[in-house]
Structure 1
């Protein structure tokens, strides 16, 4: 097994991922982890071929404070043991703790996890709601609070301080660095106008709502419509500003931006399944469950 894919394999893998997304209604790879496979920073990479065609692949990479993996099998080659073989090789190559994602909670992944003694350790809920232009109310801000867009080159340090305090418990979002935010700013989908900051009278950052727009829906679901979709990418409030209603106001502000400025009609977000407070907040804002991504964990004590 190699540690990285070749450029030719990445091109094939992107085609294969699109085929799997169309068949399953869910993308097999996440925007958070797959860039490591694409840029060569993965720690394991395995490609299985059927003749001259890529039939399946798996890779592992650092995700926050842990090592995580994703795998995919071509829809035309399923039911032949390729998924099990890929998972076997991945587990043999990587000792100790490993988290393996199943996007859309695929039934085949449930069976594979059971056979390999993996524990269902994390659920990431995907919630969605429709939005219409002009339909959302003005957000209600506490006295002395105003909203402004993120300013590249000036707001990075303040955002890092608030974000890392707000998500100190989170395996991926906590511990962000200056390199992380600068890399995000360089991405094609970065839009500072949709990165909304709630600040006080002295321009101190109290909270933020970072929105994104995706040209194609990564998880339309079976029979779903592939349309542009908005995302509540990250929403955070400084711990010292909790209890002032900023979470709800920032949510509304971001939804208004996505509906009225970006022009999307569906908004998605991801939230930890055990984050009851956040789930209730988003449900009050009209979000309902669309799908669930599951991370299976191998215990570090296992060989």
Structure 2
């Protein structure tokens, strides 16, 4: 865990922000999630919500119920407990997300906005392959879909997950965002910016590179599908995601299942140990994928 050099600041009268580090890393993100879960488990009177982010967390509270100084003392104690733990384990789940890579919808959208892109010729996938020194689009797709990703935070727009690749840093894919944001992005686009992948929950503006689309919703205000029975947002911080490439025919079949209310995500509960992952990422990822495929 990181040393206790975090920065505590206040957002108005109702928010405490804890910045754990200036840079995103799996270790710091894991610390933010561990702190958030421990704080939530304490059910402190006056604490309304705890939101972990990439390298920070924010606590919303009622100052009429808990004094700011008392809240800060409690959160600092939580940080010490997490920092002193020899290893941390996160009870979470691994989820499969089908993706139609190099699809006509994102390609058509990307073609309309090439004047905002670093490489006007070609499409976003071709640009991503070149940026990462890979020989082909398929090689990039294989890298993008070959390893799991952890949901480092959820937000920006309703239900949008930020996904961080679970591989050693020197093997992480990196792709810059568009030079200027688009005014349109298809709903359920799988995007990429910097070191983060994401899934656009709704249609709208965006600046991430577009690699494909998924046929499955991640934000369902009507809660029509069984996977949304508890909440309209599917992803939670700490969820582990495995992308699975599909073709256009399977995309249409899954969409029909979604429209009929019959689709269920393939998922499995897992216990994720940061210590064991860091000791051997590839072997540990293989055990995670076995849990998914065996479910």
TM-score range, shorter chain: under 0.3
Greater RCO structure (CA 8 Å; 6+ sep)? 1
Q: TM-score normalized by structure 2?
A: 0.25
The structure richer in strand per residue is: 1
